[in-house]
Structure 1
Amino acid sequence: MKQAQRPKYFSPAADLASRILELLSRYRTKEGTLTEISNALGASKATCLRVLKTLVWHRLVRYDERTRRYSLGIQSVVVGIRAEENIDYLLQLRPYLREAAEKTDMTAVLVQQVSYDRMMYVAKQESDSRARVTVSVGNRFPITGVSYGKWLLAYASAEEREAVLAEGLRQHTEATVTDLDDYRAQLKAIRDAGVLISREEYVPGICAVSCPVLDHEGRFLGVIAVLGFASACDDDMLASVVETMREIGQRYSQGGGDVDRV
């Protein structure tokens, strides 16, 4: 979980273009003015403008002349779809997300680490229920700011785990575990259990049940979770969801991700 080092061959212009696209892919910063983008990235307005105009020309970014705000363009949609098609495990996991959403009647998500200190919703499958939790693909959060981060740390090396925990645990709700010894004990317990229940631990009113996604060699890829409203998650309902998620996680890991592409 160390921060990636700058490569030997590095293009500042390409770096800024990448950071702009990354910024606009986030839910909270999905659109912005030149000034907002420049301030967020710590780059000069003149440099940002040149890169933004180039991205607009390639239709990776669109510009609304009325609001003077930039957002992702149509070509970014194509890039995203092609990327998913070329990442085998994402295609393989899609049926599992659908199955999790259908069997639990909750919103199913795939969460992965995207930087040394952040995780992100990579894919989602919402249930048909009218009362469902809605999430935004691309939304990012600190590793210790969500229950999914416990899986990442549970499968991390001791050195990587302690580097993250050295920053401490912030209180999000009354149910948040902030004692480091209790947190470490939970990391060991969930590896043995294969499933994690989080009730209003980080977001009031939200309940999550998750399991790790492992490849056929047991390496950690990410987390599959289902989200629902805590008021609807009684003990009997959660018991059923836990068994569903445990079975889905075990089936994917044992099968090495070999599923039909539908």
Structure 2
Amino acid sequence: MKSLIRSLRILEAVAQHQPVTVGEMTKLFGLPKSTVQRTLVTLAEAGWLRANRRDTTRWEIGARVLAVRPAALQGSSLFVAAREPMLRLRDRVNETIHLSVPDALQCMVVVDRVDCDHAVRTFHAIGDTSPLHATAVGRAVLAYLPKQDVDELIARGLEQFGDSTPAGPEDLRAELKRIRTDGYAVNRNQFRPGVCAIAAPILDEEGTPLATVAISMPESRYDEARLREWGRMVADTASEITGRRPGT
């Protein structure tokens, strides 16, 4: 039990002071360096923590925290601002609508979902993660990140999940330019076979992407002739959510 309590306190401290080093945590808790290091590694292996992408000697909160975040998120300004517009968008298109947030450049995490009433529909569990370069929600974020972040993601290598996944640097950059022009991103079988999505970013006052809202559907209901219409609707929904957030 003492070990569990210590781990939780270290997790809380990382969340408060991130990104932090082992040495900083050792001083904070007055514990042996080996104990702190072992706890951090264990939490990282479970997905609760991860090494900072710019300085791997520092630790920060990982995707697992975002996976359990929705319950807490329900009281947040983002969740409150997004819920009603998501419901209205679902009613207009009768497809699954989901809200996702980025975990730095690691992945996108689904934090809320509104289901349609079709017997056959896409399903995204709360807490599901997906790569940025291969999905509409991820590219909607990438399109509004600084160039150096995109370059960093490309330098890591772009995994190809299907024949249509943009795995080449120039292909990805061209797609991000199109997203900035059109205001929405499109995924047609680029991550999961048979799954299509149209997504738009929710931006803060400085234009930084905080989250994305997306329409998701089986490929059997994807209609290229309606893409512009769907794109406008999801972009308008994202803009409405942005405007409903306090301080905007």
**TM-score normalised over the length of structure 2:** 0.70
Instruction: Determine the C-alpha separation between the residues in 2 that align with 1:85 and 1:109.
Output: 14
Deviation at 1:155, TM superposition (A): 1.5
Instruction: Determine the C-alpha separation between the residues in 2 that align with 1:14 and 1:123.
Output: 30
- 2:95 pairs, out of 103, 106, 128, with 106
For structure 1, the 5+ residue unaligned runs are 24-75
Deviation at 1:22, TM superposition (A): 5.3
1:5 counterpart = 2:27: no
1:152 counterpart = 2:166: no
Note if contact 1:215-1:256 (Cα within 8 Å) is conserved in structure 2: no
- 2:180 pairs, out of 175, 191, 205, with 191
Note if contact 1:206-1:227 (Cα within 8 Å) is conserved in structure 2: yes
Deviation at 1:120, TM superposition (A): 0.8
Note if contact 2:201-2:213 (Cα within 8 Å) is conserved in structure 1: yes
- 1:177 pairs, out of 166, 170, 179, with 166
1:257 counterpart = 2:245: yes
Instruction: Determine the C-alpha separation between the residues in 2 that align with 1:115 and 1:18.
Output: 18
Note if contact 2:100-2:110 (Cα within 8 Å) is conserved in structure 1: yes
- Amino acid in structure 2 at the alignment position of 1:133: T
Note if contact 1:107-1:133 (Cα within 8 Å) is conserved in structure 2: yes
**TM-score normalised over the length of structure 1:** 0.67
* Percent of residue pairs bearing the same amino acid type: 22
Q: What SS is found at the alignment partner of 1:143?
A: coil
Instruction: Determine the C-alpha separation between the residues in 2 that align with 1:114 and 1:120.
Output: 7
Structure 1 residues 121-166: Cα deviation after superposition (integer angstroms, max 9, x where no partner): 1111111222211111111223234232212222211222111110
Partner of 1:240: 229
Deviation at 1:97, TM superposition (A): 1.7
Aligned pair count reads 200
Structure 1 residues 168-223: Cα deviation after superposition (integer angstroms, max 9, x where no partner): 22221121122211211211220121012221111111110000111244221111
Note if contact 1:118-1:141 (Cα within 8 Å) is conserved in structure 2: yes
Instruction: Determine the C-alpha separation between the residues in 2 that align with 1:215 and 1:130.
Output: 36
Partner of 2:109: 120
Deviation at 1:109, TM superposition (A): 0.8
Instruction: Determine the C-alpha separation between the residues in 1 that align with 2:104 and 2:158.
Output: 19
Instruction: Determine the C-alpha separation between the residues in 2 that align with 1:122 and 1:147.
Output: 16
Matches within 5 A, 1:53-72: none
Instruction: Determine the C-alpha separation between the residues in 1 that align with 2:127 and 2:91.
Output: 23
Partner of 1:208: 197
Q: What SS is found at the alignment partner of 1:192?
A: helix
Instruction: Determine the C-alpha separation between the residues in 1 that align with 2:20 and 2:185.
Output: 36
- Amino acid in structure 2 at the alignment position of 1:181: E
Q: What SS is found at the alignment partner of 1:248?
A: helix
Instruction: Determine the C-alpha separation between the residues in 2 that align with 1:104 and 1:141.
Output: 23
Partner of 2:207: 218
Distance 1:85 1:136, change over 3 A: closer
Q: What SS is found at the alignment partner of 1:202?
A: coil
CA-based RMSD of the aligned residues comes to 2.7
- Amino acid in structure 2 at the alignment position of 1:6: V
Q: What SS is found at the alignment partner of 2:156?
A: coil
